[in-house]
Amino acid sequence: MADAPPLTYGRYLRVPDLLRLQHRLTEAHDELQFIVVHQVFELWFKLLLFELEAIRAAIFAGDVGGALHLLRRAHEIVKVLTTGWPVIETMRPVDFLEFRSELKPASGFQSVQFREIEYISNLKDPKYLEAFREDAEGAQRLRARLEEPTLWDAFVALLRSRGKPAGSDEEILQTVIQLQRRTEDHDLYELVEALVTYDQLFAAWRARHVLMTERMIGARPGTGQLAVAKVVGEEAPAPGEIEYFSGVHYLRTTTDKRFFPLLWESRTFVER
Ligand code: HEM
């Protein structure tokens, strides 16, 4: 169009729109930091999901080089996410208490994109849908993800298309052990390593979140404890049960989660 204004940085990136999205519930100084850190995490989650979808497509298409290229980007995104924790740790527990009670019952536990990342990456636990009863759109997105193939499904299909035994978990395990001897199919070996690196970086993100949480709220219940209770099938906590029901207690139960357990298990059996 002849009279359309020229493109500017702000118009292209919708910066004014972006900067209008931070609404504090209180006057507490640290609340803006809290909102910005969460929103930045969600933006990175968005990009990570986009890249994971492309990685899955590349693996299904047998394009191992393309998958490796984008997996390197996924690694860097998860590393950046992990560097977000020290920013939030500059908030003192007393500063957080100034606005924390206003957040209840909301919690990162209700992050739709985080669960989507888990589902597409191969941790499909439908129990988590319980946490989205108040969020029809989020629940819909998660139900769709539950129907989709995962990165692991793509990897197993690739092994089969390359003539590798992959009919059962035991066969996949043996195939992955064999790949680690690096005698053939070097590209598949590189893919195994890149998937393990993604899994390892994600586990480190989880572990760092737990440490930050312990430092911030000790053994207090999380703001999302009611949603957690629905998902893990516990009764709402009685007074005095704070230690058991602490947010950190729940988070610690997640730190052993792995997207690709067979890739980790193979390390136990690999021989020279
Ligand atoms: C002061 C900062 C934070 C504290 C004290 C905190 C604490 C917690 C706690 C206690 C839980 C367990 C659920 C609950 O009881 O509510 C949780 C879950 C979660 N939080 Fe945070 N969090 C903080 C910041 C963040 C940030 C910045 C993100 C980034 C999006 C985040 C993402 C998540 C996610 C994804 C879960 C679910 C984890 C899972 O189920 O595996 N949290 N958080």
Nearest-atom number in ligand 1 for the CA of 128 is 40
* CA-to-CA dists, residue 27 to 22, 30, 61, angstroms: 13, 9, 52
Residue 108 tokens read as 């990162």
CB atoms < 10 A from the CB of 235, how many? Answer: 8
Which pair of structure tokens corresponds to residue 33? 């930091």
Q: Does a structural domain hold residue 5?
A: no
- Structural domain harbouring 195: 44-269
Measured between alpha carbons, how far is 173 from 194 in angstroms, rounded to an integer?
17
Q: In CATH, what number is assigned to the domain containing residue 104?
A: 1.20.58.480
The ligand 1 atom at the shortest distance from the C-alpha of residue 42 is: 30
CB distance 110 to ligand 1 below 6 Å: no
Has residue 1 been placed in a domain? Answer: no
Q: How many CA atoms lie within 13 A of 47 on its CB side?
A: 15
Q: Is residue 52 part of a domain?
A: yes
Instruction: Output the pTM of the full model.
Output: 0.95
Region 232-251 average pLDDT: 69
Q: Whose CA is nearest to atom 16 of ligand 1?
A: 224
Average pLDDT of the segment spanning 112-139: 96
Probe target for ligand 1 pocket from 209, 210, 220, with the most ligand atoms within 8 Å of CB: 209
Q: How far, in Å, CA of 141 to CA of 252, rounded?
A: 26
Question: How far apart are alpha carbons 255 and 233 in whole angstroms?
Answer: 19
CA gap 74, 170 in Å, rounded: 28
Q: Is the CB of 260 under 6 A from ligand 1?
A: no
Q: What is the mean pLDDT of residues 143-156?
A: 98
Ligand 1 atom closest to Cα of 118? Answer: 41
Mean pLDDT on 169-182: 94
Structural domain count of the chain: 1
pLDDT exceeds 60 at position 236? no
Per-residue pLDDT, 194: 98
Q: Would you say residue 31 lies in a domain?
A: no
